[in-house]
Amino acid sequence: MELLMGYLLIFFARMLDMSLATVRTLMVMQGRKFQSALIGFFEVGIYVTVLGKVVNSLDNPMNLLAYCLGFAAGNYVGIMLENKIALGNLSAQIILKTANNDILIDTLRKEKFGVTSYEGQGIEGPREMLTVALNRKDMARLKKIVDSIDPNAFITVNSISPIRGGYFTKMKK
């Protein structure tokens, strides 16, 4: 029973450590200094403790297996957690394919999305294009609105770090 508890401790501690690492990496990429430092403090404490337990008993391959499984599970859980938290900002570029462009633009604006429209030139001729700055957590809502009006629209998304100005910045306050 004691051995099983040791394996579970290694597994869950490593899973927690890797989940924290995923979230910390996101915080670093977004320039969130305090949050990434705080998460990193706990992350490295767990990592060193668990690694020490595994290295001090290399004669037990089950410890290493629990460590590896915890690493793998931690990556999975970390990504799921990061998707739930949905921190950060995005810029969506939408290339419209129907004549319902004004309806879509009006709907997005009524739903409090900042929309900039302009004309682009594609292989099939002119296309109206939209740029929308949004919080990551609002991406599913944006996609649902676009799909309901123009299911053939082409959408690309990029992570951004807004600097200043525009409707997007005013929405965040």
Q: How many CB atoms sit inside 10 A of residue 76's CB?
A: 13
Residue 173 has pLDDT above 80, yes or no: no
pLDDT band at 58 (very low <50, low <70, confident <90, very high): confident
19-29 CB burial, b ≥16 within 10 A, e <16: bbbbbbebbee
With contact defined as beta carbons under 8 Å apart, do 114 and 172 qualify? no
The per-residue pLDDT for range 113-152, each reduced to its tens digit, is 989 999 988 888 888 999 998 988 899 999 999 999 999 9
Token code pair at residue 55 = 């290295």
**What distances in angstroms separate CA 170 from CA 91, 101, 138, one per listed residue?**
16, 25, 16
Backbone φ/ψ region at 165: left (φ over 0), alpha (ψ -120 to 50), beta:
left
Q: Determine the pLDDT at residue 163.
A: 64
Residue 46 has pLDDT above 90, yes or no: yes
Q: Determine the pLDDT at residue 100.
A: 64
CATH of 89-172, one of 3.40.50.300, 2.60.40.10, 3.30.70.120, 3.50.30.10: 3.30.70.120
Residue 77 has pLDDT above 90, yes or no: yes
Domain ranges of the chain: 2-85, 89-172
